[in-house]
């Protein structure tokens, strides 16, 4: 069996740069037709990397996190969609995957045709290097701002967060505690932008003392909520980074004898299963987790087949889900202390 040429060998054969050859093999649009034909003819003569041939090899699916009620539906959707297209998913999941060196070996593998990288912790430089080696991949739910030429799929976090905060504003809430996610995450920035925009619509700036950045867990949400609710002038509503954080906030409220939503409204994000396990059930924002997975695979297969992509950064719409954890802001008694 003839050994396939590497990206470097194809570049030498055509007289083009490695970056140009990689752009052709990755299905990039900013390549002249004549240049594309030159590379593809070289692939026909010499054979190309595993990633250059549609239908060869499996699809590498990397999710270096626990497959909980957030990551689980995405991974399941990706795997099922891959199999619907007659291909095999190579799953690398769990926290141990963060220590895996698999990314560096992907471009030279004959067993893998492309990859779906879910919330990759690697810096943008690593993703650019992987792309320049001619390996097609899609970032699903990017952790940081993806480089311009990296294909990425995410939910519309800004509009989702804005609709959630607008719901609280319509109920009269102005003093809102925000329990945000990790500062370095792109999704934290996006959701914060949505929250701030909805408050700004009614002339309110988020108070620094009402903002916390935490890991997206029940425990951290509980701790942050305790801190916020023990302030002399507590918030009338708490916004959790995700549903787990909001569940922790519900627990903190109950320990202080606060009724949800009569004394305190609490909202989450994601519409994961846990959002319906509380009493009352959580108002939240539904992310299309399964559709995100399907879209990622669809874009990846187009790249593998060297089809041109109309968009490289795709956002899917979210939906506000109003349940029993939100209600009108409680009326403050006594003289106003606001300035």
Q: Rounded to the nearest 5°, which phi and psi values hold at 232?
A: -55, -40
How many Å apart are CA 175 and CA 202, to the nearest integer?
12
Q: What is the pTM of this model?
A: 0.79
How many Å apart are CA 70 and CA 246, to the nearest integer?
14
Element (H, E) at 60: strand 58-63
pLDDT of residue 22: 64
Q: Rounded to the nearest 5°, which phi and psi values hold at 158?
A: -65, -50
In residues, how long is the chain? 339
Helix (H, G, I), strand (E, B) or coil at 216: coil
Q: Kindly state the tokens that stand for 60.
A: 């590498």
pLDDT of residue 49: 55
Q: Rounded to the nearest 5°, which phi and psi values hold at 22?
A: -65, -40
How many Å apart are CA 248 and CA 208, to the nearest integer?
21
Max CA pair span of the chain: 85
Q: Is 110 left (phi over 0), alpha (psi -120 to 50) or beta?
A: alpha
Average confidence (pLDDT) over 332-336: 54
Bigger pLDDT: 126 vs 116 = 116
How many Å apart are CA 179 and CA 176, to the nearest integer?
10
How many Å apart are CA 148 and CA 117, to the nearest integer?
16
pLDDT of residue 23: 64
For 183-205, b/e burial (b = at least 16 CB within 10 A) is eebbbbbbbbebbbebbeeeebe
pLDDT of residue 50: 45
- Residue 101 pLDDT exceeds 80: no
- Residue 164 pLDDT exceeds 90: yes
- Calculate the CA dihedral of residues 119, 120, 124, 126 and round it to 10 degrees: -160
The per-residue pLDDT for range 38-71, each reduced to its tens digit, is 887 887 777 665 444 444 578 999 999 888 889 9
Angle between helix axes 218-229 and 243-255 (nearest 10 degrees) is 50
């Amino acid at each position: 069996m003839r050994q396939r040429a590497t990206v470097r060998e194809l570049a030498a054969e055509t007289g083009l740069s490695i970056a140009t050859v990689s752009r052709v093999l990755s299905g990039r649009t900013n390549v002249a037709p004549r240049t594309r034909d030159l590379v593809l003819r070289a692939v026909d003569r010499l054979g190309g990397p595993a990633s250059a041939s549609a239908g060869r090899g499996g699809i590498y699916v990397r999710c270096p996190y626990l497959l909980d009620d957030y990551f689980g539906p995405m991974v399941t959707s990706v795997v099922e969609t891959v199999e619907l297209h007659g291909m095999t998913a190579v799953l690398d999941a769990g926290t141990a995957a963060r220590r895996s060196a698999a990314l560096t070996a992907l471009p030279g593998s004959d067993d893998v045709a492309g990859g779906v990288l879910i919330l990759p912790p690697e810096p943008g430089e690593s993703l650019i290097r992987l792309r320049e080696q001619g390996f097609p991949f899609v970032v699903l739910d990017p952790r940081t701002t993806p480089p311009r030429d990296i294909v990425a799929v995410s939910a519309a976090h800004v509009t989702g967060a804005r609709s959630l905060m607008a719901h609280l504003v319509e109920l009269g809430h102005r003093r809102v505690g925000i329990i945000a996610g990790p500062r370095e995450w792109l999704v934290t920035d996006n959701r914060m932008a949505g929250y701030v925009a909805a408050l700004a619509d009614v002339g309110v700036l988020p108070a620094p003392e009402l903002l916390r950045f935490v890991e997206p867990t029940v425990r951290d949400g509980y701790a942050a909520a305790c801190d916020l609710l023990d302030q002399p002038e507590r918030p009338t509503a708490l916004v959790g980074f995700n549903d787990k954080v909001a569940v922790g906030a519900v627990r903190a409220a109950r320990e202080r004898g606060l009724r949800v939503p009569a004394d305190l409204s609490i909202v989450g994000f994601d519409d994961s299963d846990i959002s319906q396990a509380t009493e009352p059930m959580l108002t939240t924002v539904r992310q299309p987790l399964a559709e995100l997975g399907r879209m990622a695979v669809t874009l990846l297969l187009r790249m593998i087949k060297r089809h041109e992509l109309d968009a490289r950064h795709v956002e899917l719409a979210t939906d506000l889900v109003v349940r029993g954890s939100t209600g009108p802001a409680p009326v403050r008694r006594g003289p106003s202390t606001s300035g």
